[in-house]
């Protein structure tokens, strides 16, 4: 599916929007990316339904938890230009056990109780 990388609207079929792995957006395909894409898609879809131009813009945010050892992980967050988009208040380029625990314990909870219920 070819969607505009900012508005997430199909480039040839204006009544179609797309997110996720099938959207062919120029960023790494992750659930973390979808978490940012989904609210933007809804905002733009509602704008179009109300005959307004879609103005909410996605900038390619994605996140890859890279396991670097038995007890360490680097939580990468970046956009489609590979520019870091770190959200935590410390250097995320550093390998950390805390980030491994976040992936093992925190992110599944975020997925099941946050994303799937629409809270985050
Ligand atoms: C091994 C692995 C590890 C990952 N780890 C992470 C991670 O740590 N963090 C992260 O953020 N992301 C991670 N990802 C990426 C994340 O899982 C995907 O980006 C995300 O699941 C994509 O969601 P989606 O809804 O776009 O597509 P999918 O989850 O692929 O959903 C598409 C659905 O459509 C169904 N389908 C396909 N064709 C048809 C059809 N013709 N009719 C009806 N249904 C159909 C499929 O069965 C599937 O259920 C990982 C992916 C993999 C493979």
Query: pLDDT per residue over 78-97, tens digit each?
Result: 999 999 999 999 999 999 99
Query: Would the CA dihedral through 42, 43, 44, 49 be positive or negative?
Result: positive
Say if 38 falls within a structural domain: no
Ligand 1 pocket residue status of 20, Cβ below 6 Å? yes
Say if 30 falls within a structural domain: no
Say if 18 falls within a structural domain: no
Residues 9, 48 contacting (CB under 8 angstroms): yes
- Using pLDDT thresholds of 50, 70 and 90, give the confidence band for residue 62: very high
Nearest Cα residue to atom 24 of ligand 1: 20
pLDDT at site 118: 85
pLDDT tops 90 at residue 102? yes
Share of the chain above pLDDT 70, in %: 100
Ligand 1 pocket residue status of 30, Cβ below 6 Å? yes
> What atom of ligand 1 comes closest to residue 33's alpha carbon?
11
Can you read off the two tokens belonging to residue 119? 């809270």
Average model confidence (pLDDT) for the chain?
Answer: 95
Average pLDDT over residues 4-31: 96
Structural domains of the chain, count: 1
* Strand residues in 5-90 grouped as ranges (E): 62-69, 72-78
| Cα 35 to ligand 1 centroid, rounded to whole Å | 13
Q: How far apart are CA 61 and CA 29, in angstroms?
A: 10
pLDDT at site 120: 81
Say if 57 falls within a structural domain: no
Say if 85 falls within a structural domain: yes
- Using pLDDT thresholds of 50, 70 and 90, give the confidence band for residue 10: very high
pLDDT at site 50: 97
The helix (H) or strand (E) run that includes residue 34 is helix 31-49
Expressed as residue numbers, the domain containing 98 is: 62-115
- Using pLDDT thresholds of 50, 70 and 90, give the confidence band for residue 119: confident
Say if 97 falls within a structural domain: yes
């Amino acid at each position: 599916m070819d969607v505009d990388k900012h508005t997430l609207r199909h480039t040839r079929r204006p009544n179609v929007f797309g997110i996720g792995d099938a959207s062919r957006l120029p960023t790494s395909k992750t659930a973390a990316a979808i978490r940012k894409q989904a609210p933007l898609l809804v905002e733009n879809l509602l704008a179009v339904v109300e005959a307004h131009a879609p103005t909410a813009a996605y900038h390619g945010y994605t996140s890859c938890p890279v396991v670097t050892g038995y007890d360490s992980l680097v939580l990468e967050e970046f956009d489609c230009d590979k520019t870091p988009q770190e959200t935590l208040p410390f250097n995320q380029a550093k390998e950390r056990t805390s980030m491994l625990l976040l992936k093992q314990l925190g992110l599944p909870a975020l997925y099941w109780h946050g994303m799937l219920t629409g809270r985050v």
